Each structure stands twice: as C-alpha cells, then as structure tokens.
C-alpha cells in the first residue's frame, strides 16, 4: 500500500490562552482532534505553521497540490430540531474547497433525550450537507446508531459506517497499559469531571470530590476556572459559583476549603500531551460524565468509569463496551464504591474486534490499519 499524504482539519488540536474565559470551547475535543495525527504521524494538521504550505500558500492549496486524503474530525455537529442552517452551509462550502479524498471521523448527531425522529426536523442546509457527504464520501464515519438513523431519515443516506469515537483507537499502546494498571491497582489520586454542575446529582459528586481531595479535571466551565484564578489572585474574596453557594451556606463546605482545593487539585489543559502525562504520573482512576476526560485517561493508560447522563453517551459507551454506569446509580455511591464497581472485562474482551471494525473503516479509503498488540 502506497503511503498516503494526509491532511487533517476540523476540531482544534490545542486551545488558545483565552480558553475558557473568553474563548468558549470543549478541551475534550482536542482528544478527538488529535486522533488521526496519532494514528498517522506523517499527517499534516491545518493548524501547522504557515511555512508548511510552501508554494501552495495555504492548507487548502497544499491539499489540492499534494494530499491524497483529508480527514475531518467532527464532534456532535448535527443538532436535531436545529433552526439555524447557516453553520451547515458554511461547513459544506469549506468541504467543497478541499480537493482530496474526504474521510469523516466521528460525526455525531445530538438531540434531547426522548426525541422521536419521526416528529423531528432539520434545516434544509443540514439535509443538504448530509446528502453531500453521502455522495462525496465512500462511507461517512459516524459515532453511533442514532446518527446513522438521522442520515437515513432526513437525507436518505445509507452509506454510513459506525465507528464509535475514533479517539479510542489513537493510542493503542495506552490500551495495553490501562489493562496492566487495572490489574496492578495503579497508585495515585482519583480524578473527577462533571458536565452540568448545577444539576443536584452532579453538584453532589463535585462536593464529594472536594471533600476527598480528588483532582477536578475541567474541560469547559469558565466559572470553575474563574474560581481557580481567584484562588491565587483573590483568595479572600473569590467568585464562588452559584452551584456551590448552597454548600457554603449550609456549612457543608467553607469558602476557605473551596479556595484551597481549587488552588491545589484543579486542572485545565490546553494541549493533549501534558494532559496524558499528568494522568500517567498522578491519576489512578477517573470517573464522571465528561466523555473525553475519561477517554484522555484511558489514552494515558489510566482506568476510567464513564458516567452516562444522556442516551447518546450511553449509546457510544455501549457500542465500544466502555465501563459505564448511569448517573442516577453513581450518585448513590461513593467514589471508592464506583472504583470498586469498575470492571473492564467486557471492554478488554471486545477491544480487538472494535479495532478490527475501525481498521475496516480505514481500509475502505485505502488507509493503513491500526493494530493492537496485547
């Protein structure tokens, strides 16, 4: 097989310094964005220095002149019942400007739990985008069955291929390390990451993490980050987020305890590699509702329990056989009980077949397979 010349674009592979206070994003998407660059180290990111493009002048020009493939990393880009078609039209125009084989990594569709597709709608621009992808791509890589159904229901597109989240396949050596660390009970602290902190059950888990001096890994929330900054700049008058205020008023937590905790145990990462290194060095187990925080742990060789809080997350966890439990169950348990309940046997029993499935997806585009040696 001739070596492919691969360009990669889509989700950001690193966050700017203005994230998250001024630049809203999800740092977890870096884990997904880096997947093709980890799989194919010779691939070229659209975020590369301008000198990379040479006489081509731009990533788009480089793709036209040299690339055999362009991998597009996507998160939950499709929104069922969305009213705004402009982002879909703009994205299609971007894709139309890229003159190479198009490979879609991990496209997902999101909808509120309980949404029935028979009663749902999508803007015409979203339907046009799905039809365009179906016509241009040999197959469209999607995260789960729901996204596959969205393509079929709204656009009549059947050539979709369910891969789960491609990030799982990006660091196969870490999968083997996660197995060893599970068996050997890797030392270190627990790490927690929540999604909707003003939801009572997630507030409870955050308070538990504070009481137990566990790491808090934050991929999104600017209010937590503000509190972290205040722990250094204004420790006597911090902006305590409203979802922790009741715990302060009740005496369950003191302001001083929260400030000290954030200064010592809070972590936010703007690049994936330091994140992986931190996990490998300091974390023994990760749990919580943030999908890619857990994935970052797995890709660091650290065991993780996915706490599912919506049907899309549960669908992907089930497809990939990731260790998981529902949020309602998790909030009835201590973190130590969650760790005790962690059993990745099903995951490791099925991981080779999932790698085979993903390699089958790559082979459709004449891309090399991803092996798992353990």
**Which of 130, 137, 141, 7 lies closest to 75 in space, CA to CA?**
141
Local structure of residue 56 (DSSP, 8 states): G
Q: How far is CA 53 from the centre of its chain?
A: 29
Residue 239: pLDDT over 70: yes
Q: Residue 173 and residue 368: Cα distance in Å, rounded?
A: 17
Measure the CA–CA gap between 194 and 285, rounded to whole angstroms: 15
Q: Extract the tokens encoding 145.
A: 């069955």
The pLDDT tens digits of the residues spanning 200-217 come to 999 999 999 999 999 999
pLDDT of residue 116: 85
What pLDDT score does 146 carry? Answer: 94
Q: CA angle, 289 as apex, 267 and 26 as ends, to 5°?
A: 55
Where is average pLDDT lowest: 54-58, 68-72, 110-114, 154-158?
Answer: 110-114
Paired strand residues for 232: none
pLDDT at site 2: 64
pLDDT in tens, 19-48: 999 999 999 999 999 999 999 999 999 999
Residue 74 has a CB neighbour count (10 Å cut-off) of: 21
What's the rounded Cα separation, in Å, for the pair 244 and 255?
9
Residue 93 and residue 129: Cα distance in Å, rounded? 9
CA atoms in the 13 A half-sphere facing the CB of 246 = 9
Averaged pLDDT for residues 127-146: 98
How would residue 118 be classed by pLDDT, with cut points 50, 70 and 90?
A: confident
Mean pLDDT of the 129-143 span: 98
Confidence of residue 1 (pLDDT cuts 50, 70, 90): low
Report CA torsion sign: 363, 367, 372, 373: positive
Give the chain's length: 374
**Are the CB atoms for 306 and 313 separated by under 8 Å?**
yes
pLDDT at 311: 85
Tell me the DSSP string of 321-372: T--EEEHHHHTTS-HHHHHHH---HHHHHHHHHHHHHHHHHHHHTTPPP---
Give the model's pLDDT for residue 312: 84
pLDDT value at position 333? 96
User: What phi and psi, each to the nearest 5 degrees, are found at residue 338?
Assistant: -60, -45
Domains and CATH numbers, the chain: 6-168 (no CATH), 171-346 (3.40.50)
User: What pLDDT does residue 204 have?
Assistant: 96
Instruction: Look at residue 114 and tell me whether its pLDDT is greater than 80.
Output: no
């Amino acid at each position: 097989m001739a070596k492919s010349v691969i360009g990669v674009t889509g989700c950001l592979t690193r966050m700017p310094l203005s994230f998250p206070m001024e630049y809203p994003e999800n740092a977890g998407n870096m884990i997904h964005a880096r997947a093709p660059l980890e799989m194919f180290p010779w691939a070229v990111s659209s975020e590369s220095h301008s000198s990379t493009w040479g006489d081509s002048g731009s990533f788009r020009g480089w793709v036209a002149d040299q690339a055999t493939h362009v991998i597009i990393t996507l998160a939950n880009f499709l929104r069922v019942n969305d009213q705004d078609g402009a982002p879909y039209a703009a994205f299609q125009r971007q894709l139309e400007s890229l003159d190479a084989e198009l490979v879609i990594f991990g496209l997902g569709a999101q909808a509120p739990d309980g949404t029935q597709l028979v009663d749902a709608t999508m803007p015409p621009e979203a339907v046009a985008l799905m039809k365009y992808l179906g016509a241009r791509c040999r197959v469209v890589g999607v995260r789960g069955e729901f996204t596959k159904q969205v393509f079929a229901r709204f656009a009549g597109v059947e050539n979709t291929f369910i891969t789960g989240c491609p990030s799982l396949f990006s660091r196969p050596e870490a999968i083997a390390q996660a197995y060893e660390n599970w068996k050997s009970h890797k030392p270190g602290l627990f790490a927690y990451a929540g999604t909707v902190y003003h939801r009572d059950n997630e507030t409870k888990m955050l308070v538990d993490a504070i009481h137990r001096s566990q790491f808090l890994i934050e991929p999104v929330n600017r209010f937590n980050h503000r509190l972290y900054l205040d722990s250094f700049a204004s420790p006597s008058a911090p902006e305590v987020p409203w979802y922790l205020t009741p715990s302060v008023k009740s005496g369950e937590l003191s302001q001083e305890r929260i400030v000290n905790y954030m200064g010592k145990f809070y972590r936010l990462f703007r690049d994936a590699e330091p994140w992986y290194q931190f996990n490998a060095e300091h974390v023994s187990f990760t749990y919580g509702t943030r999908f890619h925080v857990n994935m970052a742990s797995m890709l660091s060789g650290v065991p993780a329990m996915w706490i599912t809080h919506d049907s899309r997350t549960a669908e992907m966890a089930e497809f990939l056989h990731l260790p998981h439990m529902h949020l309602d169950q998790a909030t009835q348990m201590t973190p130590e009980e969650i760790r005790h309940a962690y059993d990745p046997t099903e995951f490791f029993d099925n991981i080779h077949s999932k790698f085979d499935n993903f390699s089958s997806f790559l082979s459709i585009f004449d891309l090399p397979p991803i092996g798992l040696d353990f």
